[in-house]
Amino acid sequence: MTDVLRSRANDRQRVYIRTLPVRVCHWIIFLCFLVLVATGLYIAHPYLLAPKNGDPFVMGAVRFTHFYTAIVFDIAFGAELFLILVGGRYERWDQYIPLSRKRWRSVVESSKYYLFLRRMPPMTIAHDGLDGIVFVIGFIIETVIILTGFAMWADITSYNSPLALLSFLIPLFGGFQMARYIHHITMWVMIFYVVLHVIRVVTLATLKHDGTFDSIISGYRYISPREVAAFEDGVAADDGRR
Ligand code: HEM
Ligand code: HEM
């Protein structure tokens, strides 16, 4: 078995699929997500007591951290969407939104894998068709959490803050309390999403031995020439960029 894997590995080409800015945005978003969940849960249910002789304003510090981390999260998310719009060969928007017949075939084949109707997911260099759709669902979840966050922020900010310009968002979400409720529920949806995302990348990396997991750190995946040819005819697979 190990020999088979090793000989398969020798056949592979190193393909640069994720540029540095995309990788950096991915990990900034994840770090912000950890801070936002910890501080958001505190805002919802304060789980720390103010120290007797220390700063009594724990909630103030936590809200401050939540708001400024949210700004970093929003910038990284905006940058990620921008990179997808203008981005490299394997991380462009057409890797997310299936428009061609080939991409839709990939959606069907990948669904078969998740329905236990085929042993391996379909060949792909970056995302398969279904992965792309699932990532778009993730972007929608992130957009909801950002917009409800801004709706609440617009409501609690001082009247002369530029954030007050966003108060048109409040009625869109049915008022402050409803925005807060949606924001909170969306957090749990996002936690569930991230858990499934991690299970998926670990499973695929274990199955395919192609560097799926490492690619979000190194930028490279290891793919057979057959897979490269299936993706595009004759384009140089490894352009050596880092
Ligand atoms: C992954 C991202 C985020 C998570 C997990 C998260 C989580 C939470 C949670 C659980 C709450 C408490 C809600 C409640 O009281 O039931 C909260 C409050 C809040 N969040 Fe977020 N949040 C995130 C992103 C954002 C963003 C991007 C913004 C702003 C753009 C934002 C602004 C706010 C505001 C203004 C509040 C209300 C604070 C208050 O009532 O004092 N959040 N967040
Ligand atoms: C807030 C949390 C997270 C979000 C929103 C998120 C979102 C994403 C997105 C959008 C991509 C596609 C990037 C691209 O190629 O353009 C991606 C890829 C990836 N992520 Fe995450 N991620 C999160 C957390 C994590 C964590 C915690 C891990 C691992 C411990 C992880 C591992 C990976 C890996 C290995 C890939 C590349 C595999 C693939 O594209 O199929 N992610 N993630």
What is the pLDDT, as a whole number, of residue 88? 76
Neighbours of 195 (CB within 10 A): 10
Structure tokens at 25: 């945005």
Over pLDDT 70: what percentage of the chain? 90
Q: Kindly give the pairing relationship between strand 13-16 and strand 220-223.
A: antiparallel
First to last CA, the chain: 33
Task: Give the mean pLDDT of 156-178.
Answer: 92
Among the ranges 9-23, 89-103, 194-208, which has the highest mean pLDDT value? 194-208
Rounded-to-integer distance, Cα 202 and Cα 156, Å? 41
What is the pLDDT, as a whole number, of residue 233? 43
Among 150, 183, 187, name the best residue to mutate to test ligand 1's pocket (greatest count of ligand atoms within 8 A of Cβ). 183
Task: Give the mean pLDDT of 91-109.
Answer: 88
Query: Is the pLDDT at 25 greater than 90, yes or no?
Result: yes
- pLDDT digits 0-9 by tens, 131-154: 999 999 999 999 999 999 999 999
Q: How confident is the model at residue 71 (pLDDT cuts 50, 70, 90)?
A: very high
Q: From the centroid of its chain, how far is CA 39? A: 20
- pLDDT digits 0-9 by tens, 230-240: 666 433 333 32
Q: Which ligand has its closest atom nearest to the C-alpha of 121?
A: 2
What is the pLDDT, as a whole number, of residue 196? 97
What is the pLDDT, as a whole number, of residue 232? 60
Residue whose CA is at the smallest distance from ligand 2 atom 20: 216
Query: Is the pLDDT at 9 greater than 60, yes or no?
Result: no
Query: Is the pLDDT at 206 greater than 50, yes or no?
Result: yes
Residue predicted with more confidence, 65 or 88: 65
What is the pLDDT, as a whole number, of residue 230? 65
Residue predicted with more confidence, 102 or 150: 150
Residue whose CA is at the smallest distance from ligand 1 atom 35: 153
Distance, CA 9 to ligand 1 centroid (Å)? 45
Task: Give the mean pLDDT of 29-34.
Answer: 98
Cβ proximity of 235 and 222 under 8 Å: no
140 CB-near residues (< 8 Å, 6+ apart): none
Over pLDDT 90: what percentage of the chain? 57
